A = this chain, B = another copy of it.
Amino acid sequence: MRVIITKNYEELGKVASQHLLGTMFASQERVNLAITAGRTPLEVYKYLVPEVKDKNYLNHVHYYNFDEIPYKDNKQEGITIADLRRLYLNPANVLEENIHVLDGENYENQDNRIQNDGGLDSILLGVGADGHYCGNLPNTTTVNDYTSKVTFEDNPDLEQVIIDHFIDPKDAPDFYVTMGPRSIMSAKQLVLIANGREKSGIMKSFIEGEITPDLPVTYLKLHPNLVVIMDEEAASELN
């Protein structure tokens, strides 16, 4: 595990985007990246978008989403991919053929597809204050899982969390899908980013605490090529 503590969120965005660009430029062959939606990567994409936009020399880079909350009845693309399009894929003008959508239908094929595509070269992921990463929340998946469907039947607490993602609650599905711990740990590199004081508790647990199913993200510490990038606020509780 390599830990990089940046002075602020802006530097985090730069350093994470430099890691991703480094992976993109490291090979002339196809490069496969899974990238995160949500708030944490905003500053990453701010730096990344102009460097990638309309750059035909990056046409060998392919993108995957690693989780998805689909619309009920698939009336439109899911929450995650829509977010990724808005934040990064659209402003960066990424070729549609380089975008490999995980959705509520095709999730059982996600691990095979990625393996056939050559495996993931890097995953950019965030961490929740509750210790979740991707859709691996406490008590949903286990460390044994590959890409999985998580239903509310088994996780009633999640229902409201999911509904909150939708303007019209009637659009909310009764499940979501996520690449599981086994899927994520198969990538050649993991880049975990965390910023802000609200992440200082989980980052202290992550760096100094034990690996535990209560905080699914802690298992990522077992990856031999994990880079953790956090700003000083997220690192503020570390000894």
Contacts and interface: CB of A to CB of B under 8 A. Distances in A.
A225 B222 contact: no
A222 B23 contact: no
Main secondary structure of the interface of A (DSSP, over half): mixed
Interface stretch (A25-33, A87-95, A197-205): A25-33
A219 to B, nearest CB: 7
A156 interface: no
A99 interface: no
A57 B57 CA distance: 28
A119 interface: yes
A222 B143 contact: yes
Interface string A6-37: 00000000110011011111101100000000
Given A22-B23, A185-B223, A222-B219, A211 B28 contact: no
Interface of A: 2, 4-5, 14-15, 18-19, 21-26, 28-29, 51, 57, 118-119, 142-144, 181-182, 185-188, 210-211, 219, 221-225, 227
23 contacts: A4-B57, A15-B25, A18-B18, A18-B22, A19-B22, A19-B25, A21-B22, A22-B22, A22-B23, A22-B24, A22-B25, A22-B26, A28-B119, A29-B119, A142-B211, A143-B222, A182-B222, A185-B223, A187-B224, A222-B222, A222-B223, A224-B224, A224-B225
